Amino acid sequence: MTRNPFDLSGKVALVTGANTGIGQGIAVALANAGADVVLTARRDPSETRALVEAAGVRAHVVMADLSSIEPCQRIVDETMGAFGRLDVLVNNAGIIRRSDALEFSEDDWDAVLDTNLKVLFFLCQAAGRHMAAHDGGSIINIASMLTFQGGVRVASYTASKSGVGGLTKLLANEWAAKGINVNAIAPGYIATNNTAALQDDADRNRQILERIPAGRWGEPGDIGGAAVFLASDAAKYVQGHILAVDGGWLAR
């Protein structure tokens, strides 16, 4: 019987920022596809853990503050201690700071670049060293619409997410021959706690929906489906790609 190429049974996935929103949606989708999931977060991801375990797979929590590279190797080591392998890394954790470019502070620049780009790279490195020495694996970075666009009042966020796009391609170039697939997902407007203010602003919500050909906000599960694809054998020949999951936002 031919194996379902989207089946993640027997694989171990690590998801950062897994306590809510997109991270939770990705973790649950990977679990429903059969993967055991390691949940990394600053806040207790007990709700996500319950949803993962309800899918009939194992979950393990690693509490970590990803504002510095200090926990990167520990996260991989704890994953190995819990499950003995690491097949999929999803770099979802990220922060944003807003201010006019003329007033943007060095602290807001450094905080966002450290979490969104520096820590992402060194977690890729820690996971990549393991994957290169074993059977390969998949790394999925969470990019943004601002990987492609400039945005306003989010200088460090735009710079970081543009960097995520470039770094994804660089790592694919270096690691494809080692059996490591490196790709990214660029979410559009997704209905989460982080976007609640935009959804509640009638004028802004209308403007956003008018530009989205699909006519609706995305759900975390929409990003989860893309993550399952990129983590699976179905994407074995997909390298260095940034997959926009945006309801057609960029097409408009």
* Any domain includes 5: no
Reported as a pLDDT band with limits 50, 70 and 90, residue 141 is: very high
Q: 237 catalytic, yes or no?
A: no
Is pTM beyond 0.95? Reply is: yes
The answer to the question of residue 50 being in a domain is yes
- Which residue among 38, 75, 147, 157 is the active-site one? 157
The end-to-end CA distance of the chain, in Å, is 43
**What's the angle, vertex CA 122, arms to CA 89 and CA 39, rounded to 5?**
35
Domain assignment present for 249: no
Alpha-carbon gap, residue 26 to 8, rounded angstroms? 13
Q: Residue 78: how many CB atoms within 10 A of its CB?
A: 19
Helices (H), the chain: 21-32, 46-54, 72-83, 106-113, 119-133, 155-175, 196-200, 202-211, 220-231
What gap in Å lies between CA 7 and CA 30, rounded to an integer?
Answer: 9
Q: Report pLDDT for 193.
A: 83
- Average pLDDT of the chain? 96
Q: How many domains does the chain have?
A: 1
Task: Give residue for tokens 């170039």.
Answer: 173
- Please report where in the chains the tokens 């998949």 appear, as a residue: 138
User: In terms of residue numbers, what domain contains 221?
Assistant: 12-244
- Check residue 2 and give its pLDDT: 67
CA distance 131 to 85: 9
Asked if pLDDT for residue 1 goes beyond 70, the answer is no
Closest listed residue to residue 164, CA positions, set 249, 65, 64, 91: 91
23 CB-contact burial (10 Å; exposed 0-12 / middle 13-18 / buried 19+): buried
Please indicate, yes or no, if residue 252 is contained in any of the structural domains: no
CATH number for 189: 3.40.50.720
Q: What percent of the chain has pLDDT over 90?
A: 96
Confirm whether 1 is domain-assigned. Answer: no
User: Residue range 90-100: average pLDDT?
Assistant: 96
Residue 2 lies in a domain: no
Token pair 């993967």 in the structure block, residue: 35
**What letter would DSSP give residue 6?**
T
Average pLDDT (204-220) is: 95
Say if 6 falls within a structural domain. no
